Amino acid sequence: MSTTQPNIIFILADDLGYADLSVYGQNEYDTPHLDKLAGEGVRFTQAYANSAVCSATRFALITGRYQYRLRGGLEEPLAGTGRAHGLPPEHPTLPSLLRDAGYTTALIGKWHLGQLPSFGPLKSGYDRFFGNYGGAIDYFTHKPGVGDALAPDLYEGEVPVERTGYYTQILGDEGAKYIRESTGEKPFFLSLHFTAPHWPWVGPEDEAVSRSLDDLFHYDGGNLKIYAKIVQALDAAVGQVTAALDERGIADNTIVIFTSDNGGERFSKMWPFTGQKTELLEGGLRVPTILRWPARIAPQVQEQVTITMDWLPTLLDAAGAKVDADYPPDGESILPVLTGSRASYPRQLYWRYKANAQRAVRDGNWKYLKINDQEFLFDVVEDVRERANLKDKQPEVFQQLRNQWESWNSWQLPLNDEIYSAGVSPDIQADRYVPEAKKRRPPGTPLS
């Protein structure tokens, strides 16, 4: 492939709220490195996560598809199913497709798409992996829980390793090192997936607190000051990575993307939205998102509606790479909008979440939302806080979106416990994609 292909760095935060960065409205502390990145690139105002929880969004990111197509992508089953589920190694992924197009690939940080020996980054397109396989680890002990008997969840490839230090800092060091050591013979794709600012509530100077925890969930700990330190450490680590690009003189033709896997949790700032992680209100789904590519994309504030699964087709588009025809993405490339060759356009996006029987559709400015037995219709452009329920004033729109969700859902795996005992193999599940992909309404077609 051409040596002019851009390098790509995809930085993923964990449980970062929409307004947790000062460039997005945080006024209790500063995030200067991310603010600078936003000022030099694209700041999105209507970017969504594919899910209101962690691993489900990661399935969408790496496959470019709705996560509900695979058993592992059903809302957070990985936390309770041991080693049974994960990303099938035969499934095409963003790193495997970029590798086929001439890239070297690395994941530094959180995987959370299935455990060894059946699943892992090196089985799904990454040439190198350093990080944790599971969902959350302590920032200092690097263990997935509390107790002397537990081993750290920290690996180089598939081999356990030990490191000393605050995990966010370690990942920043590793990311910067990877950039400095890249040869330039091939473009690189670096996934830098932090665990910050996910609990436990431990800042970079709180090692003593970390080692005295009785519960990794840390329900009785944390406060806004500690949370600020966690986010600022994340910002500093991003600064390390962008500084390494400057040192190498490769920042101009490197795409840097920063976003979060879902909305924030208890100490996050989601203003002006309501809701948080695990909720399909805007606060659980709307995420801060920044992209910088000086060689091709001018600085801008971008109102284009986008979602996590768009990054696979968008980045393949930027790299001159192709999707796998047998696994068509549900996401869409937004590169033409970012370069100015196409105007922004409305989208149709779908979500569901087992807890509280939640479901949602965003179609144009409209959003249909169901929580338990309560149903709503919002104009989320005019009513960002989702307060004015218009279902009775706009009954046709309400019914249409409700029907759209039912139609879309019929092509997803069932969101219940039956799937875990059904014995359906992951490769058979993937076959469900093609009919649904063909019947989707053409991109940009408005509701009315």
Instruction: Supply the CATH number for residue 390's domain.
Output: 3.30.1120.10
How confident is the model at residue 84, as a pLDDT? 76
pLDDT digits (tens, 9 = 90+) for 406-447: 999 998 898 654 444 444 433 333 333 333 333 343 333 333
- 447 located within any domain: no
Q: Could you tell me if 294 and 244 lie in one domain? A: yes
Q: Which of 339, 368, 383 is the last residue of a domain?
A: 339
Q: What is the pLDDT of residues 233-285, one digit of tens each?
A: 999 999 999 999 999 999 999 999 999 999 999 999 999 999 999 999 999 99
Tell me, yes or no, whether 359 and 416 share the same domain: yes
Q: What is the pLDDT of residues 350-383, one digit of tens each?
A: 999 988 899 999 999 999 999 999 999 999 999 9
Q: Which CATH number covers residue 117?
A: 3.40.720.10
Tell me what pLDDT residue 396 has. Answer: 98
Dump the DSSP string for 393-435.
TSHHHHHHHHHHHHHHHTTS--SSGGGGGS---HHHHHTTHHH
Residue 78 falls within a domain, yes or no? yes
Helical packing angle, 224-248 and 32-39, nearest 10°? 50
Q: Is-contact 135 103, C-beta < 8 A?
A: no
pLDDT digits (tens, 9 = 90+) for 90-133: 999 999 999 999 999 999 999 999 999 999 999 999 999 999 99
* Judgement on whether residues 221 and 367 belong to the same structural domain of the protein: no
Q: Which CA distances in Å does 396 have to 128, 380, 390, 403?
A: 51, 17, 11, 11
Find the mean pLDDT for residues 378-397: 98
DSSP state string for 33-90 = HHHHHHHTSEEESSEE-S-SSHHHHHHHHHHSS-GGGSGGGSSSGGGTSTTS----TT
Same domain (yes/no): 262, 379: no
pLDDT tens digits, 279-305: 999 999 999 999 999 999 999 999 999
* Number of domains the chain is built from: 2
Please report the pLDDT score of residue 77 as a whole number. 61
Domain C-terminal end among 317, 339, 361: 339
Kindly state whether residues 132 and 281 are assigned to the same domain: yes
- On whether residue 444 sits in a domain, the answer given is no
Q: Which domain holds residue 398?
A: 348-439
**Span 32-52, pLDDT tens digits:** 999 999 999 999 999 999 999
Report the C-alpha gap between 264 and 259 in whole angstroms: 12
389 and 285 fall within a common domain: no
What pLDDT, on the 0 to 100 scale, is given for residue 112? Answer: 95
pTM of the model: 0.92
